[in-house]
């Protein structure tokens, strides 16, 4: 889909969510930025971009702490996002 339509906002959003589930926040954020490049008013992408950005900051702050789980899931369980 993205090869035929590189600016397909819904496909980019879906890919971003897949990278999030794989705990690859930088790729998730990158694809959200692509959505916003093509459609600056995309509300879902804008909200998720902010959440990913905040989550990356939280992960950086929490990197010194040993959580019982790893990745984004640990931060969700800890109530940090």
- Are 14 and 21 a contacting pair, CB within 8 Å? no
Confidence band of 62 (pLDDT split at 50, 70, 90): confident
What are the domain boundaries of the chain?
Answer: 9-77
**Distance in angstroms (rounded) separating the CA atoms of residues 25 and 14:** 14
Asked whether residue 81 carries a pLDDT value surpassing 50, the answer given is: no
Using one digit for the tens of pLDDT, what is the confidence trace for 7-47? 789 999 999 999 999 999 999 999 999 999 999 999 999 99
The span from the CA of 67 to the CA of 77, in Å, is 10
Please give the radius of gyration of the chain, using alpha carbons only, rounded to the nearest integer: 14
Residues 29 and 19 sit within 8 Å (Cβ to Cβ): no
Q: CA-CA distance, 69 to 79, in Å (whole number)?
A: 13
Query: pLDDT at position 22, please?
Result: 94
């Amino acid at each position: 889909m993205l090869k035929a339509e590189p600016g397909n906002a819904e496909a980019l959003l879906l890919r971003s969510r897949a990278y999030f589930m794989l705990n690859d926040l930088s790729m998730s954020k990158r694809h959200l930025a692509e959505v916003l490049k093509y459609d600056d008013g995309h509300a879902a992408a804008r909200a998720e971009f902010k959440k990913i950005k905040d989550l990356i900051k939280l992960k950086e702050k929490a990197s010194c702490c040993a959580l019982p789980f790893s990745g984004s899931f640990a931060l969700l369980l800890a109530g940090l996002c």
